[in-house]
Structure formats: structure tokens, C-alpha cells
Amino acid sequence: MINKLGEAGISSLSQFLPIANLRIIMSKEVNPKETTRAEAYDFWIHAPNPIVTFFKTVDVTNLINVSKQRGMKFNMLLNYCIGKAAAGIKEFYLLPVGEKLIQYDQLAVCTIVKNINGGVSSCDLLFSDDLETFNQEYLKYTSLVAQFCQDRALSEYCMVIGTSAIVDTELDGAIDAYCGIFNNPFLIWGRYKKKRVRYYLPISFQFHHTQMDGSHAGKFLENLQAEINRL
């Protein structure tokens, strides 16, 4: 059976989790009635499908330019901008887990990695406001995850923003199936498209309505475009 990285596993995987950093990061259960999500919690926590999906086409021209100029991966830069866009929105630090509402001190961004066995593994990356630090984390842990074919999970410590890049084709949008287990916000995209001299990327953003309202999701998507532009 394959373990999540960070759980009891083979000793050579000890470097997957930066324990010294994660020990100071806390998550805790909070009383929904003592949060700004009290009404949303009562209304949505037992809803048959509390997931909402927004579609937005983002101009990624600057992202491509920075990627070429600085020799950084496009996907890493987009993951960084996602974390940066979410970091200033307090709703991202609350997440319904089962019937509990959990508050986190830190965010992480999950990226999907093609591993050496031809499959895929997930890699959670602790978000850092410093681009160079985030880039080093990205390069280090995606490489290890690809090599060992095991997931790296930080959900015990961080509110994880899921992402999935389907680079084999262009996508107009995607709606994820809700199973009641994975309530985290989630972004999906395909290949970017070129129109004349600019590049555009349709993105699907899925979120749990207990965690945030449409206004918060809209603000996040606006922040995402702003962070790409100012990178």
C-alpha cells in the first residue's frame, strides 16, 4: 500500500516534509457560529451539492514572458499567483471538513505531477510570498514526488488549494464531481490559447459554498489576474 508522504513510510522519504517549518503552523476546529460563515454553514453544510464552479478566461501573456525571461516553469508561476491571490482573502483559511469547520494559519497549493511510472501523483507546496523560495520548493518536491511516485500531503497543516493542469488539450471549462470528501477549492485548466499577440487561459474554479460566497470567489479571480499582471 502506498503511503502519503509525511506519514510512516520508507526512511528515504523523510525529506519530503520540512517538519521544522510545519510544526509552527496550526490548524484547529472552530465553532461555525463564532465565524463570519455561520449562516452559510447552516445553509450549505448538509446540502446535496454545495459546490459552485466559476469559469474565467485569464490573460497569461505576462506569465509566459516571465517564464521565458527568468527560466521558470509556467505551472509554478501560475501556482504562485494562485497562492498570492488567495492569501489576502480570509475565507480561504476556513474549510469544512466533514461537519467540522477548520481554521488554518497557512495556505498550500497542490499541483499534479507526472511520475516515472507513467501515472500521476499530487504534490502539496507550502505557499511562500517570496517567489524564489516558492520556486525552490516547487522544483525540489515535484521532482521527489515524480521520482518516488507518492503523494505529498500537507492538508493536516495547511488549507490546500487544489489544481490540475490538463496540458494535453485546450479546455473551455471543467466541472468536478462532488463526492463529499474533498471540499477544498480547486482550479482546472488546459493549454493556453493564442489570440494575435496575447495568450489566454480558460480556468475553472470550484469552491464549497460553506467556505466562501460568490463575491469572495470573484475577488479571488480578479486578484489572480492582477497578480499575473504584476509578476
Is 201 part of a structural domain of the chain?
yes
E strand spans, 62-137: 94-97, 100-104, 107-114, 120-126
Mean pLDDT is lowest, of 35-39, 146-150, 172-176, 225-229, for 172-176
Q: What is the mean pLDDT of residues 70-76?
A: 97
Is 206 part of a structural domain of the chain?
yes
Q: What is the mean pLDDT of residues 47-61?
A: 95
Residues with Cβ within 8 Å of residue 222, at least 6 apart in sequence: none
pLDDT of amino acid 127: 96
Domain hosting residue 190, numbered range? 27-230
According to DSSP, the β-strands at 186-189 and 159-165 are parallel
Q: What is the mean pLDDT of residues 138-163?
A: 94
- Is the CB of residue 106 less than 8 Å from the CB of residue 134? no
CATH code at position 125:
3.30.559.10
pLDDT of 118-137, one tens digit each?
Answer: 999 999 999 999 999 999 99
Is 19 part of a structural domain of the chain?
no
Q: Which residue has the higher pLDDT, 215 or 173?
A: 215
Helix/strand number for the chain, H first, E second: 6, 10
Mean predicted lDDT score pLDDT of the chain: 89
Q: What is the mean pLDDT of residues 153-174?
A: 91
Is 2 part of a structural domain of the chain?
no
Is 10 part of a structural domain of the chain?
no
The domain tally of the chain equals: 1
Is 12 part of a structural domain of the chain?
no
Helix 61-70 and helix 214-230: axis angle, to 10°? 40
Is 13 part of a structural domain of the chain?
no
Is 16 part of a structural domain of the chain?
no
Question: Confidence class of residue 18 from pLDDT cuts 50, 70 and 90?
Answer: low
Given a cut of 90, is residue 11 above it in pLDDT? Answer: no
Given a cut of 90, is residue 25 above it in pLDDT? Answer: no
